Amino acid sequence: MVNHQNGVAKPPASAASAYTINLDNFRKRLKGFYTCWSDHKSDLWGFTDAIAIATPPTSEDLRYLKSSALNIWLLGYEFPETIMVFMNKQIHFLCSQKKAKLLETTIKSAREAVGVDLTIHVKAKDNDGTSLMEEIIGSIHTQSKSESPIVGYISKEAPEGKLLETWSEKLANSNLQLTDVTNGFSELFSIKDGTELICIKEAAHLTTSVMKIFVVPKLERVIDEEKKVSHSSLMDDAEKAVLNPARVKVELKAEDVDICYPPIFQSGGQFDLRPNAASNDDDLYYNSTSVIICAIGSRYNSYCSNIARTFLIDATETQRKAYEVLLKAHDAAVGALKPGNIVGAVYQAALSVIQKEAPELLPNLTKSAGTGIGLEFRESGLSLNSKNDRVLKSGMVFNVSLGFQNLQARTKNPKTEKYSLLLADTVIVGKKPPEVLTAGCSKAVKDVAYSFSEEEDEEPLRVRSDLNGTGVLSSKATLRSDKQEMSKEELRRQHQAELARQKNEEIARRLAGSVSAAGEGRGPAKTSSELIAYKNVNDIPFAKQLAIQVDQKNEAVLLPIYGSMVPFHVSTVKSVTSHQDHGTCTIRVIFYVPGTPFNPHDANTLKFQGSIYLKEITFRSKDSRHISEVVQQIKTLRRQVTSRESERAERATLVTQERLQLAGNRMKPIKLQDLWIRPAFVGRGRKLTGSLEAHVNGFRYATSKPDERVDVMFANIKHAFFQPAEKEMITLLHFHLHNHIMVGNKKTKDIQFYVEVMDVVQTLGGGRRSALDPDEIEEEQRERDRKNKINMDFQNFVNKVHDIWAQPQFKGLDLEFDMPLRELGFYGVPHKSSAFIVPTSSCLVELIETPFLVVSLGEVEIVNLERIGFGQKNVDMAIVFKDFKRDVLRIDSIPSSSLDGIKEWLDMTDLKYYESRLNLNWRPILKTITEDPEKFIEDGGWEFLNMDASESDSDNTEESDKGYEPSDIEPESASEDEDSASESLVESDEDDEEEESSEDSEEEKGKTWEELEREASNADRDKGDESDSEEEKRRRKVKVLGKSHIPERSAPKRMLPSKRPKFK
């Protein structure tokens, strides 16, 4: 069980150094607090002169306090044992020294936001704080015009600890009137700003993922395999899934998440629909007519979300009807969450549905339809009951929870004669229809109602539900959803349709509120320092004669100008050339000059704007040998400096890595020897193999050269791959990293260590040897033994590294060596050459040819399979990433024979794919989506790619180049000859002659032999008359193609329109 305390956001003991307060949020929210206090002083804040909030010490219990919520809302962290007093002109904090150091940063911001003076009273450890409390109370009396000032406090929070008890006594004995201000804080917290909504959306995404990806499959496995699992063990497993978001493919930091309450699992006739219910130690009951209720709540940055689902096992008609009524009532309650409605209308909407559909269920309905949710799981004053007359406003968030308690079933089994139903979702009130954040986990009847069936003699046998509840299936039953048996292709289509719905909901949530992460932790590149060859004149070397010199040490070129040696840093030299003519040699030096198109102003030129710059200079000399040496020296020095500065600029963008902790004497490092590295070290001399060692927190690769060393930290590894040699010549370990590292002077995110399992040799004789040659057989056996030994050495290394990664300190990294699945592989062209591309459990990779290909499936939005059609030998794949700023990755020339396997793999990995007949130009499409995401969602999201939806029109449609505009895609059946002046989103490639000719033949299906012969002769004449004008050629073409129209003058670059576009 996680160590629960008042709030997630608690600064540690060294808070002053590890944490900072977001001053922008502090100013904005402090101003909002004072505005709310001023506007509602009479009705919500009780005419208070001051508001005193005391936060209790931390507790092991899971609880929600208004004081803790105010700390997190205003300051970003919880401050235990801290007293805050707000007045019209002053704010007082009473806290310890460490908390005071962190709060000091808010003094200036408080004055800027609301014009108040913030005073911090530091309580020493050996002091009870009495004198400081009296000083604060004295300030209240001084600022108030009344003899008995009114002080607001939270009455339901009893004082805990010596400090708060002393404070409570002081307030009671200081001639102050105390009044409860809980309603004021309820109003203050009710409307969430953009930052808060993002936190709630992330929490809801985590909650939905745990329910959908972990809980539902877990329950299905338990029931399918007839296991005995207790409710409490399911609770523990679900809690671990919440606390480790990576398990459910959610990219949130584990330290930022927590549970709202221990997950609830109930079955077997004992149901409690309250949020504070507990999962007992009874086993999960899943016999016929049983009901299972699951509820999960998770928090992100202290903001809550909730979901609850009910699952029906062999449900009776009565149970199914009750659930359908509850589903309609729940949808009606969600639909009533509109700005301007009163809160009570939400419960009334649900009530009306039940009165109409099943009035006999009214006594069993829960007394409310949920509560407000945010920093508190149940926000006071926002209960969705019939008596609440508060007005709904945009930005409010509710946990809409509706259920039937203790319904009667017609069974004699005590574990099924009573059952309950519960549904809950997290919903945002907005200007548009309410946004259901947890809709990703379906609650439709077909998705939550299950039935048992047995298979005997390869024929499915439908087993009836035992209405008495006493019959137990004699053999192992298989859990099946209430769907008829269907073909493999139909199942895949159905799964893809569900993925499309989920994908559109996910992209709507992401485009609406998610904030793009910063570019992998990179900061702005540092500008290079000023170019200084010599600090003063005395440092210039003495020249015996006035001749051009190159100072390698100071990276300067010394030029004789008017009898003096004038130094120029070599970085200012743009080019240097020499020319020899009739015994005289000329050298010309051109310098970089600021302000020209290819040499914009930099920091140095802007600093010396009034200076005069030398553009070029020319010297003549009779010593051609000296001139040649000088030119060579300048070019060499310039190349060295440029290379060094380029490497320095690359390193400036790197993220700082932790230091490698070398294994000591106790822990002998795990080692692989004689490995090559890619990318290779750059340098002269013979390339050397090196060894890879696994140390405490990372790997180190080193050769015998001291400067050839690379450290790879475990924390920087995003994906690790082990690919043994099967049909390849190498066995390899590959690491795809979070952040770039330097290998020599190259910056890379992919690093690979490999061994060649076969020696590439060539027989000197050049002839073929017999397969029965003993020497040939022996050589092949040696190669097999060598390959097996290398593969085994790598496997042992991988197993030992897995043991290291299994240690507690590395579990959060979720590291594991992934092995490519060759049976799912296919050939394609990801870059410039064909390669064998192989899926893994979490990626799509190609690790043999360079540049490497590593695509994280978690970063993929959709996959579009292009050039799909009969007669096509190859198809293309376009991978669209969730980050629309990234270019779409194309894998071209995939054999059509691999298409079914690719579809099956994509479907298995829950990736939504679409099919199109043409190649699409993705840049304008993504640009249009990012510019107007709301229209994209309204028009159906990615469904404009669905070829099946418009298959009847696919032969006669034209694409528009104005980005994604599905409304502009109209069938051409009514007007085949209509021409569009816009460019096409489809990429044209007219190099495929076979494809063109086949499509031409389809166009010309109805022509007679005479027409074809006349057309051929005209084509021959066109080829022969090279001197004919374009207008004459076009006129002749129009005569031949009688159905085609002349392109309009507004679009001279368009080709003649045809019935079907000829695109590759």
* pLDDT confidence bin for 653, thresholds 50/70/90: low
Residue 989 has pLDDT above 60, yes or no: no
* pLDDT confidence bin for 644, thresholds 50/70/90: confident
Token reading at 323: 């659930």
**DSSP 8-state secondary structure symbol assigned to residue 422:** E
Please tell me the chain's helix, strand, coil percentages from 3-state DSSP, rounded to the nearest 5. 35, 25, 40
Q: What is the mean pLDDT of residues 170-187?
A: 90
pLDDT (0 to 100) of residue 1010 = 63
Residue 764 has pLDDT above 70, yes or no: no
**From start to end of 447-572, where are the E strands?**
449-456, 459-462, 478-481, 549-551, 556-561, 564-569
User: Which of 234-238, 818-822, 955-959 holds the top average pLDDT?
Assistant: 234-238
Mean per-residue pLDDT of the chain: 79
Rounded to an integer, what is the distance from CA 362 to the centroid of its chain? Answer: 44
Q: What is the mean pLDDT of residues 98-102?
A: 89
* pLDDT confidence bin for 595, thresholds 50/70/90: low
pLDDT (0 to 100) of residue 608 = 66
pLDDT (0 to 100) of residue 659 = 85
Q: What is the mean pLDDT of residues 313-339?
A: 93
**Starting from the edge strand earliest in sequence, which strands make up the sheet with 853-856, in order?**
826-828, 835-839, 843-846, 853-856
pLDDT (0 to 100) of residue 466 = 36
Q: What is the mean pLDDT of residues 88-106?
A: 91
CA distances 942 to 103, 502, 933, 1050, Å, are: 48, 11, 11, 32
Helix (H) or strand (E) holding 690: strand 690-694
Q: Are 961 and 982 in contact (CB under 8 A)?
A: yes
Three-class DSSP category at 432: coil
Residue 529 has pLDDT above 90, yes or no: no
pLDDT (0 to 100) of residue 450 = 86
Region of poorest pLDDT, from 143-157, 364-378, 708-722, 1025-1039: 1025-1039
Pairing of β 717-723 and β 817-818: parallel
* pLDDT confidence bin for 107, thresholds 50/70/90: very high
φ, ψ of residue 1039 in degrees (nearest 5): -65, -40
Q: What is the mean pLDDT of residues 979-1002?
A: 43
Q: What percent of the chain has a predicted confidence (pLDDT) above 70? A: 78
Q: Which of 247, 283, 256 is nearest to 268 (CA)?
A: 283
* pLDDT confidence bin for 593, thresholds 50/70/90: confident
Residue 1021 has pLDDT above 60, yes or no: no
pLDDT (0 to 100) of residue 1 = 36
* pLDDT confidence bin for 1035, thresholds 50/70/90: very low
Q: Are 795 and 723 in contact (CB under 8 A)?
A: no
Residue with tokens 């329910």: 211
Residue 947 has pLDDT above 50, yes or no: yes
Residue 840: CB atoms within 10 A of its CB come to 19
Q: How far apart are CA 544 and CA 558, in angstroms?
A: 13
pLDDT (0 to 100) of residue 624 = 83
* pLDDT confidence bin for 526, thresholds 50/70/90: very low
* 3-class DSSP string for 99-114: HHHHHHHHHHHHHHHH
Three-class DSSP category at 126: coil
Q: What is the mean pLDDT of residues 1045-1056?
A: 37
Residue 485 has pLDDT above 70, yes or no: no
pLDDT (0 to 100) of residue 461 = 32
pLDDT (0 to 100) of residue 803 = 86
Region of poorest pLDDT, from 99-108, 447-456, 794-803, 834-843: 447-456
The residue ranking higher by pLDDT, 643 or 551, is 551
pLDDT (0 to 100) of residue 1007 = 57
| Distance from the first to the final alpha carbon of the chain | 58
Residue 1026 has pLDDT above 50, yes or no: no
Pairing of β 397-408 and β 117-122: unpaired
Residue 544 has pLDDT above 80, yes or no: no
Residue with tokens 């009163």: 342
CA distances 438 to 200, 203, 257, 340, 625, Å, are: 11, 10, 17, 24, 80
The residue ranking higher by pLDDT, 993 or 812, is 812
Token reading at 698: 């990372």
Q: How far apart are CA 258 and CA 299, in angstroms?
A: 5
